[in-house]
Structure 1
């Protein structure tokens, strides 16, 4: 079920109230049951798949820990990796694979006609990280399956992350305590702010952005449209993360930050260290760093870094535009430093360098944004071509729908970006900090609720990252 659905607004308070009322010994049972209900509401047929994913790494980690020989440990780890990636490949990438093979060599491989299991890309990486860390000896495996299953299926972050490590979430699940008053106050603020980001900003600009990319002949205006689209993804995904963190806070659990003011990054590497942090860190820790240590010399070092970003791109979806999205991001990250060093020799003051650097960041974000949105390669090629012409493309937007909604979304975006700037500058007056300040907290909550009720778009179902 979606956080923005009516059924969830009934489900979540019921679970949280019951959590606070029942004895501590039964809280894990409640959270596990609630997580299963949450997932089954979307598609009950995929509940066994969630169980299977949990069981694979639960037993693999135990067998890894019990094995006395390194070779045995590697066998169990390899089996875990192959089974997990095999399931992910079958459901998410099989059709992409068969289409390309059929096109290249003329075979007649058949695709599958099934829904992509919700959250499979998230919980698969979460269970795999657990097994990797047990293999590396970072901690002993969890022997209580119920505890481990709550770690895998914890409903606030089950279907769209953040991708939690056992060292952060599993240790908290072992002792599910009652939340403090500070946790409850923080939970209310995070949830309200998350709904504001999702309903007032992301959902209001969605229709206008889609029309601009798919129904117009493009033009220079697509640079601005693409940047706003990346912002839409940010507010949609960050809104989910804020709501997830708020729900977890009601159970005394702290989920990881998944975003840290990415639009204030000074280069593309910093951008990805601030955007979808849990995914970037997962790929860095389990793919990039191990390979870079093995092949530390150039050009292999750069190739590995670019390949890691291609994997990040492909993780988002089974389409060549996502591979291209990762490739372009990887190239930008590798070439940013030498280009920056070259530009630094140009005589100018610090303000000019700062403005130029920010402008370059905006252009890079805009360019990768269109790669992310448009999956049809012929349309993608056409629209990118118009971005490098002299045609502004403003006339075609006159017929765009939902212009008032778009304007409301832009106003909300300005407010949110200002709050991000306060956080970035470490000011003590941003929204999350207000959770511990009486009257200011209630004022912000009231403003969010009023804005959501008056200006929220309740017609958009789900979150963008549900697709991944």
Structure 2
């Protein structure tokens, strides 16, 4: 059941009506029922994995709570020399609970999503070593949203373990948090302390949030159906063929814009649906194409994944005993920029490795993550050289020309990453990159889009970037829109709505419901 399918929209409408008709204390039950209907319709019996995840983190969280309360009650009666040993013992107990719950959730994800990848690579290693062992390569149907709700389950357990908040004694609250139906397909990757209370509270009807939600949904549909799916008509055949020159470069550029329009459009729809129920969800995008560096780009692109990796991978590895020992050694023997480079290189490797591997069970996704890792590490290592060049040439970041250069440089680097991401394999990505520097083809109208299609696509992209530019200038678009006359507002809404109906790519023989990030 896609975010833009008619059954999904009917489910949202019915749920919204029932939500505000129900007594406040029972509104969370309406959401939970909608979650069940959505998930059963989308994944049927595979809902058992979601239920298992919900129960494991609920029970595991309460078990850690119990240990924390026991420790607080007992430690007061102990002598000073006994307290240290008792704390160490209780820490091991909590760690054991955490490890068991994480092993259940990560184990299920790895088995279902990555079994085929590991089996195939082990078979390749065995063949190289002339070991006569062949593991059956199986491919499983993945439960909808498993890559997303598993990360949310991990964050819940780790936060409870770290003492950020107590585990919830309410199973319904945990279930709502992990299964909120709009975010199951593509995220965002929410945190329990940000989302759970909003879902469980039974929110009052808020006309401002409701209108904002409808605007976001409409805008998300425009970006998906008018921009992203039209770009796909050009991108798909070019990436499937042996094209080069400007044709190939344009396909890479359009794919980058396609995935942005589609993924950010999906997030607009999800956040818009959240607003219909009075629920505020985290932004996943913050005008990434205005970034002046790759590090800034990734702070603006898929933000909830980035902050998740920072909080639960980067900090976990940075504070590990092995990394602390490395830090002490580096600080003792290495000084200056190279020392800082070494200190960052170790934990950031795992961040970018997991970033790539989370996206899919393929070496191309691992290389995709490490591509950005290498660029960031080179930037950090060569930072003194870049600073010297800027000082010599009097290049200041406030100057518009230099800012524009940095933005264009960042966009070209992102094109390289998106080429790896979209290509069918690493070999295809390399071949297409090499063909870009040839002049094999120049007829861009021979690959799925007419001149009229290109005109509509350019119009949509210009509109999208105008709105992004206003957001970048911190313009409150909702407030600005509501200040306009009723005639102008309804005129704009009508234009967007008619554009979706007339220019949207959908209909018989075309599955407009396939979202790129729905695969992950």
| TM-score > 0.5 by shorter chain | yes
Aligned residue number for residue 461 of structure 1: 513
Offset of 1:43 from its aligned partner? 2.0
Distance in 2, matches of 1:6 and 1:88, equals 30
Offset of 1:35 from its aligned partner? 0.8
Of 435, 447, 450, 1:386 maps to 435
| RMSD between superposed Cα atoms in Å | 1.9
Structure with more relative contact order (C-alpha pairs < 8 Å, separation 6 or more): 1
Aligned residue number for residue 412 of structure 1: 460
Offset of 1:238 from its aligned partner? 0.8
Distance in 2, matches of 1:323 and 1:307, equals 11
Aligned residue number for residue 450 of structure 1: 498
Offset of 1:341 from its aligned partner? 2.4
Secondary structure at the counterpart of residue 43 of structure 1: helix
Q: Is the 8 A contact 2:247 2:442 kept in 1?
A: no
Residue 373 of structure 1 pairs with residue 422 of structure 2: yes
Secondary structure at the counterpart of residue 395 of structure 1: coil
Offset of 1:247 from its aligned partner? 0.8
Pair 352,182 (structure 1): closer, same or farther in 2 beyond 3 Å: closer
Aligned residue number for residue 481 of structure 2: 434
- Structure 1 gap ranges (5+): none
Q: Is the 8 A contact 1:262 1:275 kept in 2?
A: yes
Aligned residue number for residue 46 of structure 1: 46
Aligned residue number for residue 116 of structure 1: 142
Distance in 1, matches of 2:19 and 2:166, equals 28
Residue 421 of structure 1 pairs with residue 469 of structure 2: yes
Aligned residue number for residue 448 of structure 2: 401
Offset of 1:433 from its aligned partner? 4.9
Of 312, 319, 333, 2:362 maps to 319
Aligned residue number for residue 22 of structure 1: 22
Pair 292,435 (structure 1): closer, same or farther in 2 beyond 3 Å: farther
Aligned residue number for residue 334 of structure 1: 377
Q: Is the 8 A contact 1:205 1:410 kept in 2?
A: no
Aligned residue number for residue 89 of structure 1: 110
Offset of 1:444 from its aligned partner? 3.1
Aligned residue number for residue 81 of structure 2: none
Scaled by the length of structure 2, the TM-score of the pair is: 0.85
Scaled by the length of structure 1, the TM-score of the pair is: 0.94
Look at both structures and tell me which one has the larger radius of gyration over its CA atoms. Answer: 2
Secondary structure at the counterpart of residue 174 of structure 1: helix
Pair 48,398 (structure 1): closer, same or farther in 2 beyond 3 Å: same
Residue 8 of structure 1 pairs with residue 55 of structure 2: no
Q: Is the 8 A contact 1:211 1:400 kept in 2?
A: yes
Pair 433,147 (structure 1): closer, same or farther in 2 beyond 3 Å: farther
Pair 367,432 (structure 1): closer, same or farther in 2 beyond 3 Å: farther
Secondary structure at the counterpart of residue 118 of structure 1: coil
Secondary structure at the counterpart of residue 368 of structure 1: helix
Aligned residue number for residue 353 of structure 1: 402
- Give the length in aligned residue pairs: 465
Write out per-residue CA displacement over residues 228-260 of structure 1, whole angstroms, 9 at most, x where no aligned residue: 212211111111111111111111100111110
